[in-house]
A and B are shown apart, each in its own frame.
Chain A
Amino acid sequence: MQNAERKCRGFVALLLVGLLFLFAACNGSRELYDLGIVLGIGLDRSAEEGAVDMTLQLASGLQGEPGGGMGGLQSGEAFINYTLPGDVSLSHFRQFKLRMQKEVYLAHNELFVIGEPLARAGIGPYIDFFLRDPELRVSTNILVAKGSAAELLAAEAMLSEYPTLSLSQREDSYPLSGATSRCSLFDFVSAMASECRCATVPMAELQAGADGEPISVFNGLAIFRGDTMIGTLTQEEVSGLLFLTDAVRNGALRFSVDGSVVEVELQRSKTKLCYTVQEDGTADILVTIRSGGRIVSRAGGAAERNSIIRAGETRMQEEMLMTLRRAQELHADIFGFGDAIAKCEPDWWEVHGGNWEANLPRLRFAFDIVLEPGEL
């Protein structure tokens, strides 16, 4: 029996120690209703010098009535936007906690929205904070607001209770339809860490909706060198970028041929780039595109099948050249040519890669585009 007594005594001691730790709650557990779930973070340049207006979009309509089964939306607004000036640091986030009894919980944050003025001033320190925080995720999307991020986050979102979720899901799905390109924090930081690549971040602005209320619309791309925005691409120039970065799967192509206006939906578009470097520091890039397609509409005229195909291929080339010219004007390698050459021609890159932005205009491009539309 003496063995059993000793074991019971040991078990009781372990149980007491366990209960002591268990309810001492020094282990960082948080109850669900203590969470202030942040869905989106907006950063704007603040009136105060050196400060930043940080807007948190919090899911607020979650007051389940007593005995209500599965809670969720109750009456009233589904979210609250809360803006406070600060320096995007831990203490800045703590300011929010002082004003609401909930704890700021960032793990479900879906979107970073940067106001254009702040983007043009440089967002390096804030990106560094976002990278270090254990709750924030590198797969979160980034967006630049033409104007104020706070206003964009406040705008009504069609068919969605939460503007942030709507913007983030649109940014995820648009590249496939050729409307815009996606940029996550991971892509942005990878471009910053690269020697020569410039990040492209989708831009959104407020436009008047059918009922006069402002709604958010994607329009163009912002170009970043390092952590500073240096320019933009218009919506037309976006599809050229998507072609050159092999990001289009089924975009739309609109062109006129022999007096008729034709619209083709591209399907299974595939782009390959081939680099040939020269001793004088220049490089030739052969762009090969193979794409299927389906003619969606043909207005007027009786253009021939082959001429439609030729016109379509020419239109794709024009769009790419338009984007290339814009990038060369800004000396911004938004396509990743420099990284690609550095990887396949490292010796040449060590010699000529030093001033890549200046070298960009001297690149020569050749196009080999084959469009195979299905039924006409």
Chain B
Amino acid sequence: MLHDIFRKIGYLIRRSQQPGNAHEEAPDERKLFERLELNKERIQSYYGNDLVLRACNVGSRAALLCYIDGLADEKFIGDFVLVPLLRPWLQQGMRLSHIKEHFLTAGDVKETDALPLLLGSLSAGDCALLLDGEAGALLISSKGYARRGVEDSTTEMTARGPRESFTENMRTNTALLRRRVKSPDLLFDLCSAGRYSKTDITIAYIRGIAQEETVAEVKRRLAKIDVDAVLESGYVEQYVEDAPYSLFATVGNSERPDAVAARLLEGRIAILVDGTPFVLTVPCFFMETFQGVEDYYARPFFATFLRVLRFAAAIVTVLLPALYLSFTIFHQEIIPTKLLFSMVGASANIPFPELLEMLLMSFTFEVLREAGKRLPRAVGQSISIVGAIIVGEAAVSAGLVSAPMVIVVSFTAVCSFMVPAHNDAFTLLRFIFIAAAGWMGGVGVLLCALCLLAHLASLESFGQPYMAPFFPLRRGDLKDSLVRAPLHDMVARPTGMTGNRRRVGGNK
């Protein structure tokens, strides 16, 4: 008992010593005043030269209309707020509630007497109307800042399927989702994060499909985020994920409304962060990377072929350099005799050992790729491909690198483009496997692969095994993993994601 008391006192002392937020005021000063002048001074102490204060008279009472220039739609304010208010025949002594019900023609109007709410609305692009002699304000939705239109997706391009991708505006994104899932059970719960950025975050899920415990867990983890600012969904991803020290992201993301809608319908939960087109989806599985959106629009056989191709490309991009290295410096007996002759001839005058040569070439290709990514699209692509060929060719002719090495490293780089989502993890893994192969050849690669398998099998994403349906083996879900069964065979949602698994026919 005493211990708890001491602890509480200590907490209060520490809190009082904290510098705290410059704008944080004692609880009783968060209310608006009755006198318009005092309110005006208080509001002017915030923001800066983009704060617009329009004094006017409503009837006989002095009024103040304030908004942020560039965030609010001035034409809307003029037509739907000022015009109804500035009428000579308005009665005397009108109250805010009266104005709200009878005069304002704007859609979303709220009344409040709390200063933080007023400031939050102004920051979001609304405008506020204050009357002299009344300790309150009307918050009128008048957002009108410049926003990017719905364009093609740049990171998840498909040959077939909708072109739309999410935008930076959260409301547009929720609308895009709502147009795909028109069921009223698609719920959007709003919360915010970031002491300064006050970023709006929407948690989207379908009631009756998503599990309540998972939704509660998502909300609990979002509530725990206590940082200055959340500027992109990447921040949220790293704060809510299960294994922050793992190479693999256990939170999915997508820029495509149809992909997110499909995941919502499987029982996942989407996290829309205002200011970024990348929507997070949890729980996330390792297999999601290989499940392209297009697979469900194409016929099953070709879709299966594409999936197997992506899987093979992933294995090649991680293991090929390591296996090539282990075969050339440890297990030369595996190489066919004639090929061995040409490889020995090719590496006869190379000054570096194979391991160093492999590390140099891999590093060079990564530099070229990263450079290509940072440049405008047209230039970027030519840099990475042409650069690779030129550098490779020059290195071979200068006798620095053997030709087989360039072939292996460039083919590996091309394969890594097949699975962009895991590209960062696969790149780091490639270097780890190269070191293991340099250390103990095939046995090193085997032991490294065992560590990777055990790590992947131990990962969880919001209570779901990250490597499902492989580890643990869920045979029912295998039909949408390495193979994509025809749609009419896929009658059940993934195991463990939802209690309501039936996807086709009578829904519970």
Contact = CB atoms under 8 A, between A and B. Distances in A.
A65 B347 CA distance: 10
B347 A72 contact: no
A18 B435 contact: yes
B403 A107 contact: no
B348 A64 contact: yes
A108 B348 contact: no
Interface residues of B, number: 32
A190 B332 CA distance: 28
Contacts of B340: 32, 37, 108
A351 B355 CA distance: 63
A110 B337 CA distance: 10
Given A31-B329, A32-B332, A64 B346 contact: yes
Given A30-B332, A70-B404, A7 B245 contact: yes
Contacts of A62: 341, 344-345, 348
B342 interface: yes
Interface in A16-59: 18, 21-22, 27-33, 35, 37, 39, 59
A310 to B, nearest CB: 48
Interface string B332-357: 11000100111111111110011100
B441 A68 contact: no
B346 A67 contact: no
Contacts of B435: 18, 22
B439 interface: yes
B439 A22 contact: yes
Given A22-B438, A70-B403, A29 B345 contact: no
7 contacts: A22-B438, A29-B438, A32-B332, A59-B341, A71-B346, A71-B347, A108-B332
B440 interface: yes
B333 A135 contact: yes
Given A64-B349, A165-B337, A32 B344 contact: yes
Contacts of A32: 328-329, 332, 340, 343-344, 347, 354
A135 B332 CA distance: 10
A67 B439 contact: no
B433 to A, nearest CB: 12
Interface stretch (B33-41, B391-399, B471-479): B391-399
Contact of B347 (A22, A39, A64, A74): A64
B247 to A, nearest CB: 12
Given A7-B245, A29-B330, A62-B348, 9 more contacts: A21-B439, A22-B355, A31-B347, A32-B332, A33-B350, A62-B345, A71-B344, A107-B333, A165-B337
A70 B346 contact: yes
A18 B448 CA distance: 13
A69 interface: yes
Contacts of A29: 329-330, 355, 438, 441
A20 to B, nearest CB: 10
Q: Which of A35, A64, A65 has the most CB of B within 10 A?
A: A64
A255 B245 CA distance: 82
Interface in B159-200: none
Contacts of A63: 345, 348-349
A72 B337 contact: no
B399 to A, nearest CB: 4
Given A22-B435, A66-B399, A33 B348 contact: yes
Contacts of A28: 330
A105 interface: yes
A64 B404 CA distance: 13
Contacts of A18: 435, 439
